[in-house]
Structure 1
Amino acid sequence: MHKQYKFELTTPGRGLINITDEVAKYVNHANVSTGLCHLFLHHTSASLTLCENHDPLVQSDLEAFMLRLAPDGDTLYEHIAEGPDDMPSHVRTVLTQSSLIIPVSDNKLALGTWQGIYLWEHRLRSHKRKITVTIQGD
């Protein structure tokens, strides 16, 4: 059996947004006892990640690390059509991922104790982001 859902969210700007509950809702609705949940983000300046969901300092440390790795306004970049955060956002996306696959067991996401699913917005300003959730299994 295959089920597919789409949802959109508007980000507040750069940072990690926990989408675990939203994805879990679709998994529960699909009524799959054993299978896989595939998430795909339809954008090139944001990404998806599994991250520690207990201590918010992990998220701010990840953001600080990424800012050091791909700083805004670096003179190396030629692609600056949408501002100084444009190309660094694309670099961040290439270094992370646009899709995730998570096992489904007993009609629930089979996440570890401290794992959460996050949309990582790399742009400074708010953006509307679209995610496709595909659930396969029996």
Structure 2
Amino acid sequence: MIFQQQFSLQTQGRGTINITREVDSLVRSSDITTGLCHLFIYHTSASLMLCENADPDVRSDLERFFSRLVPDGDPLFQHVDEGVDDMPAHIRSVLTKMDLTMPVTNGSLDLGAWQGIYLWEHRHRGHQRKLAVTVTGE
């Protein structure tokens, strides 16, 4: 059996948004009890991550690390059509992930105790982001 649903959300600019509940809700509505959930984001300047969900300092530290690794306004970058964060946002997305695959057990996501699903917006201004959830199994 296969279930697929798209959803959108508005970001507020660079940072992370916990989307675990939204994804798990779609998994639960799929009527699939055992299988896999694949999550995909349709953008090249935002990404997805499975990350620590108890201490927000983890996500803040990741943001600081990526700011050091891929600084905005670096003169190395030629692609600046949408501003100084344009190319860094694309690089951040390539270095992270635009999709995740997670197990489905007993009709819901089967994540670790301290895992959450996050959309990571890499642009400074907010954007409408579109995602697809595909659940396969029995």
**TM-score, reference length from structure 2:** 0.99
**1:52-71 to 2 correspondences below 5 Å:** 52-71=52-71
1:31 corresponds to which residue?
31
Q: Displacement of 1:93 after TM fit?
A: 0.3
| Counterpart AA for 1:36 | L
Letter in 2 for 1:111: L
Matching residue of 1:114: 114
Aligned residues: 138
1:97 aligned partner: 97
Letter in 2 for 1:30: S
> 1:101: Cα distance to partner?
0.3
CA RMSD of aligned residues (A): 0.4
For residue 136 of structure 2, give the secondary structure of its aligned residue in structure 1: strand
1:45-56 correspondence to structure 2 within 5 Å: 45-56=45-56
Q: CA deviation at 1:40?
A: 0.6
Question: Any gaps of 5 or more consecutive residues in structure 1?
Answer: none
Deviations 1:68-106 (A, max 9, x none): 000000000000000000000000000001000000000
Identity of aligned residues (%): 59
4+ residue runs of structure 1 moved beyond 2 angstroms? none
- Structure 2: any 5+ residue segments left out of the alignment? none
What is the one-letter code of the residue matched to 2:29? H
Task: For residues 101-122 of structure 1, give each alpha carbon's deviation from its aligned partner in whole angstroms, at most 9, with x where no partner exists.
Answer: 0000000101000000000000
Counterpart-to-counterpart distance in 2, 1:16 and 1:65: 14
Q: Which AA in structure 2 matches 1:80?
A: V
Amino acid paired to 2:102:
I
2: CA distance between counterparts of 1:110 and 1:69? 32
TM superposition shift of 1:31? 1.5
Task: Write the letter of the residue equivalent to 1:39.
Answer: L
CA shift at 1:32, angstroms? 1.2
